[in-house]
Amino acid sequence: MRRGILGGTFDPPHVAHLLAGEAAFWELGLDVVTFLPAGAPWQKAGLDVSAPAHRWDMTCLAVAGIDYFEPDDREVAREGWTYTADTLDSFPSQEELVLILGADAAAGIRSWHRWEEVLGRVSLAVMPRPGAAPEAVEAAAGPHHLLDTPELDVSGTMIRRRRRAGATIRFLVPEAVLGYIESHGLYAR
Ligand code: ATP
């Protein structure tokens, strides 16, 4: 079993998350890509993050209909801060895990709780991202698979800001996620 793991705040899940999962699935011959919304992301303590229930629902909508993508609620269901090291421990040891990250996250991986354990447990698939230098990824994360994707200058922050400003976010997020954001009044002005 080769499992891709793509964690994030997913506030909201957007086109770059899906593209990273898609590229990793095909380039690395994975069996499944597991999308894990973070419960209480410690690196975003004090920041304004949407309720876990909203981020979970949007993640389910984002991956619906793609049979090799699955949402996983083990982080949103857990009390306390979310640490990737604990999450990885909760998968069976015989599974081969590929952690799928943006280049910014990969460059910062040594700031993670128990990062050496994380790097010992997984191999890495990294999606290039504007502003994140390949050398910084190499220095922090060591050997990794660089995904063959275009760089997309998209982030949750940018999508929330556009929404607050009244700009369209259609096609930056899946249509069902857009519908959810509209019907729940998320990121309202
Ligand atoms: P925010 O602006 O709210 O921090 P984000 O989209 O950057 O949002 P997450 O939802 O936490 O952040 O991202 C989850 C994972 O997806 C991280 O590994 C991140 O690096 C990666 N990712 C997000 N956007 C991109 C992008 N445009 N290109 C490459 N990787 C990305």
3-state secondary structure (DSSP) of residue 130: coil
CA nearest ligand 1 atom 22, residue: 102
pLDDT, residue 100, reads 98
Q: How many CB atoms lie within 10 A of CB 124?
A: 21
Average pLDDT score, the chain? 94
pTM of the model: 0.96
Check pocket membership of 75 for ligand 1, CB cut-off 6 A: no
Is there an atom of ligand 1 within 6 Å of 71 CB?
no
Tell me the pLDDT tens digit for each residue of 132-142.
999 999 999 99
Q: With a cut of 80, say whether residue 171 has pLDDT above it.
A: yes
> 71: which strand partners?
35
**Ligand 1 centre and the CA of 108: distance in Å?**
13
Look at residue 78 and tell me whether its pLDDT is greater than 90. Answer: no
Counting from 1 in the atom list of ligand 1, the atom nearest the Cα of 14 is 6
| DSSP of 54-94 | HHHHHHHHHHTT-TTEEE--TTTTSSS-B-HHHHHHTS-TT
Whether the CB of 127 sits within 6 Å of ligand 1 = yes
CB 18 less than 6 A from any atom of ligand 1: no
Length of the chain: 189
Q: Residue ranges of the alpha helices (H) in 97-188?
A: 103-107, 115-121, 134-141, 156-164, 175-184
Looking at residue 175, its pLDDT comes to 98
Residue 80 has pLDDT above 80, yes or no: no
Q: What per-residue confidence (pLDDT) applies to 44?
A: 61
Please indicate whether residue 8, judged by its CB atom, sits closer than 6 Å to ligand 1: yes
Residue recorded with tokens 């990273």: 20
Q: Which residue puts its alpha carbon closest to atom 29 of ligand 1?
A: 102
Distance 70 CA to ligand 1 centre (A): 18
Q: How confident is the model at residue 18 (pLDDT cuts 50, 70, 90)?
A: very high
Percentage of the chain lying above the pLDDT 90 cut: 89
Please tell me the least confidently modeled range out of 42-46, 93-97, 140-144.
42-46
pLDDT at res. 17: 98
Indicate the angle between helix axes 15-28 and 52-63, nearest 10 degrees. Answer: 50
How far is the centre of ligand 1, averaged over its atoms, from the C-alpha of 37 (Å)?
12
Structural domains for the chain: 2-152 (3.40.50.620)
